[in-house]
Structure 1
Amino acid sequence: MDTIEQMLSMLLDGAVETLDISPHLQQLAVERYEEVGTWLAEHGEPDWRIYPQGSFRLGTVVRPSTRTGEYDIDLVCRVPRRKENITQAQLKQLLGDMLHAYLRWKNRQGHTDGPKSCESRRRCWTLEYPDHGFHLDVLPTIPDIEHPPTGILLTDQNLREWQHSNPIGYADWFKRRCEQGRSLVEAKRHLNVADVPDWTVRSTLQRIVQVLKWHCMLRFANDPDNRPPSILITTLAARAYRGEQDLFTGARAVLDGMTSFVENRHGKWWVPNPAHEEENFADKWNEYPERRLAFIAWHRGIVTVLDDLAGLQGKGLQVIASRMSESFSAGPVFKSVESYGDRMRHSRETGALRMTSTGLLTTTATTGPRVRDHHFYGEHPDPRR
């Protein structure tokens, strides 16, 4: 590549691509989600609506580094009730009863492709699909009539007040920040079950978010309570993004600017949901100050990592890969290095690899001497030999 930044962009992109949800698993998850959603829409109360939210909707999924490595797919079930007419506990139980009824229906039908269990969590119900490597978290919600048309109110068994959110508005905002139009999956399904966006080609911003989430996930593998929430990282990254097309350059620019979007409102740390100002993605910082310090330490750490990598110009592919694997998973990194090496070998063998006027290797230069084939891929020869 012409520059160290371009090389690092390709290596990071190739590595994080291995952590992305595969097209096959994506389609399987969509099928399971659509079946659950259609069943709820047909057997629940009139006008129930089901749609995806979070990284599955945003196209920023990263495979967890846990033993099971299950993908977490978040869904919203919006029940058309007013908060004056139902409590959080009643709403949570209402959806839970319906999901358990769905599970019983699957078993009676003799279907083996249904969830293995339905478990209650703090805010949602989790449908487990361990044989397929993912689970569905179904969140019970009601409309937030003070923030139409897409605002919702969430249940939380640990909090007395209803919690505000707006996943649809947020996804629309993030999509605009990606600065690319995307098509929706076109398939026949129940009208009350919303489509899953088709992110078959990731934008630079999506890849930046995946890289940041990946590093954060690994850093806090043994301290999940203090791990910065994905939505916090995603929001700050999207706010700081300025349309850079190069992944590595964009990631460094985002890291340089993202902390400037953390507000302090009357002594409280605040990162507002861009689609709903009353939702604060940094609310836990005010309750647990150590979590803010953990975010600062993570941010400082990944900035240092990228700065170190940028300083490895001319050190060779293996040196760069070794340094990268110290802060990211070695497996994905070396898979990416292998792909990169194959690409460079192919370019060399076909005569496409040339030397630029600056002495850097490139596959894009139309002028300059062709580079002879050699056998030290990714390493520089010792000039003393």
Structure 2
Amino acid sequence: MITFQDENVQLDDLLDRMAESLQLDQTRYELMIQHYEAIKKWIETDELFFKPFKYELYPHGSVKIRTTVKPIGKDEFDLDIALHLKTNWNQHTPEKIYSELKRRLSEHAAYKEKMELKNRCIRLNYAGDFHMDILPGIQENEWDEDKLCVPDRALGYWVSSNPRGYSKWFMNQVNMAKTSILLKALRAEKLPENDYENKKPLQRGVQLIKRYRDIYFQKDDTYKTSSIVLTTIAGQFYNGEESIFLTVENIVNRIRQHTMYMPARIKVLNPVNSAEDFTDKWETEPEYYTAFKAFAEHLYFEWQELKKKHGIISESRILKGLFGDDLYLRAQESQANIIEKARSANELGINRNTGMLGAAGAVSTSAVKSNTFFGD
């Protein structure tokens, strides 16, 4: 059961439920894993090229760091996979590695039909469910097991990448918060903690910011800010807040400080490879940076309004505008179901001093009677 003894806890609970409804569901996650294992087995049995090499196949990106967001109007999620070969990259051309992966996937009737060639990866489209982007690469050196040389078809040479190292960095940022105010509230009232998935405020904050990005750029996504930029900025600006609301507030405040008061544009560098600028496109096409600033400014002002706590009507208007009507209403319905379940089990109370809902039996709390036929 959720406790509503505190308005901040209540808002964080609502934000948490909205983020949860955005993520990859368990059924689809398990289906992804099945396909991932099948692809791994298919590559492992390749006699012409891959079989002699030592290599790893592992997920990275939003699935790995648990910040997936369901696209608006679509059912397809992204799954990023790295094919990490452990050999000397100087002995192979970028074209060779890419073409060998393409050849092997083409030898499978189902994969051949799903295959789409991208600049650095090969995509397998599972229509209506998800798509897998398989990134081939060779370990860059012996002393760093995470750094990869990956082929860039547009440039025609190897580029340095570190998808696994990035995941490790982000999860270190996530774990700056040992817990959350939601779990603290449950522990304070000795309630079961399984009401919440074990996700930290930074992960939830990133999900919500990405969802807002999708809403904001829905009509024209020409200069839409990329997920890797938003995720990296959020991770770099995070200060270990235990609240989802405060996590987003801190991130949008710091973005505004940089965009409004710093003379130069924000540069978002790969935290595990400073030579890689995720925002280099903002230099050559400044419209991307202009769009990012406008999007971040709008989120900032809406968050300031949300902070003023004008009441449930104003709060619902702001949250619907930021994250969509459906997302807000599903979260609200989920909250209501939990309350009704607690009421029916005589586990719901109301604080005599504040009038807020909480657990029955807590200090200064009176039990709320369960609803019965005709109120009897």
| Structure-2-length-normalised TM-score | 0.81
Q: Which residue of 1 aligns with 2:183?
A: none
Q: Which residue of 1 aligns with 2:123?
A: 126
1:55 matched to 2:53? no
Secondary structure (helix, strand or coil) at the match of 1:228 reads coil
Give the root-mean-square deviation of aligned CA atoms.
Answer: 3.1
Match of 2:284 among 275, 283, 287: 287
Distance of aligned partners of 1:356 and 1:294 in 2 relative to their CA distance in 1, 3 Å threshold: farther
SS in 2 for 1:363: strand
Larger mean Cα displacement after TM superposition, 161-170 or 49-58: 161-170
Q: Is the 8 A contact 2:54 2:87 kept in 1?
A: no
User: In 2, are the aligned partners of 1:220 and 1:227 still within 8 Å (CA)?
Assistant: yes
Shift in Å, 1:331:
1.1
Moved more, 241-250 or 331-340: 241-250
Q: Which amino acid aligns with 2:104?
A: M
Residue among 168, 172, 176 paired with 2:168: 172
278, 294, 303: which one aligns with 1:306: 303
CA shift in 2, pair 1:116/1:2, >3 Å = farther
Aligned equivalent of 1:143, options 139, 145, 161: 139
Report the CA distance between 1:22 and its aligned residue: 0.6
Report how far residue 335 of structure 1 moved. Answer: 0.7
Q: Distance in 2 between matches of 1:246 and 1:267?
A: 31
Match of residue 89, structure 1, among 91, 95, 106: 95
**1:355 correspondence with 2:361:** no
Q: Which range moved further: 249-258 or 91-100? A: 249-258
Deviations 1:304-342 (A, max 9, x none): 2222222234x23x5422331122121121011111123
Aligned identity (percent) is: 23
Q: Does 1:29 align with 2:37?
A: no
Deviation at 1:146, TM superposition (A): 8.4
Aligned to 1:208: 205
Q: Indicate the SS of the match to 1:18.
A: helix
Q: Gaps (5+ residues) in structure 1?
A: 108-113, 183-198, 376-385
CA distance in structure 2 between the aligned counterparts of 1:268 and 1:180, rounded to whole angstroms: 27
Determine if contact 1:41/1:49 at 8 Å carries over to the other structure: no
> CA offsets, 1:248-293, max 9 Å, x none?
122212222356789xxx9785322121222212221112111111
Contact 1:354/1:367, CA 8 A, preserved across alignment: no
Distance in 2 between residues matched to 1:174 and 1:155, nearest whole Å = 24
TM-score for the superposition, normalised by structure 1: 0.79
Conserved in 2, the CA contact under 8 Å of 1:347 and 1:363? no
State whether structure 2 residue 334 is matched by structure 1 residue 339: yes
Greater Cα shift, 249-258 or 361-370:
361-370
- Alpha-carbon displacement from aligned partner over 1:79-126 (angstroms, at most 9, x marks no partner): 34544433333322121111112x23xx5xxxxxx6851111122111
Corresponding residue to 1:328 among 302, 323, 335: 323
Determine if contact 1:14/1:336 at 8 Å carries over to the other structure: yes
The answer to whether residue 66 in structure 2 is matched with residue 69 in structure 1 is no
The answer as to 2:17 corresponding to 1:14 is yes
**What is the CA-CA distance between 1:52 and the residue it aligns to?**
0.9
One-letter amino acid of the counterpart of residue 248, structure 1: F
Going from structure 1 to structure 2, the CA distance change for 1:304 and 1:267 (only over 3 Å counts) comes to closer
Long gaps (5+) in structure 2: 179-195, 372-376
How many residues are treated as equivalent by the alignment?
Answer: 343
Go from structure 1 to structure 2 and tell me whether the alpha carbon gap of 1:57 and 1:181 turns closer, same or farther (over 3 Å shift): farther
AA partner of residue 327 (structure 2): P
SS in 1 for 2:13: helix
- Number of the residue aligned with 2:8: 5
* Contact persistence 1:5–1:310 (CA under 8 A): no
Structure 1 SS opposite 2:241: coil
| Cα distance change, pair 225–158 in 1 and its aligned pair in 2 (3 A) | farther
**Corresponding residue of 1:162:** 158
How far apart, CA to CA, are the structure 2 residues paired with 1:57 and 1:312? 35
User: Secondary structure in 2 aligned to 1:155?
Assistant: strand
> What CA distance in whole angstroms lies between the structure 2 residues aligned with 1:366 and 1:80?
58
Report the residue type matching 1:174 in the other structure. Answer: F
Change (3 A) 1:55 1:87: same
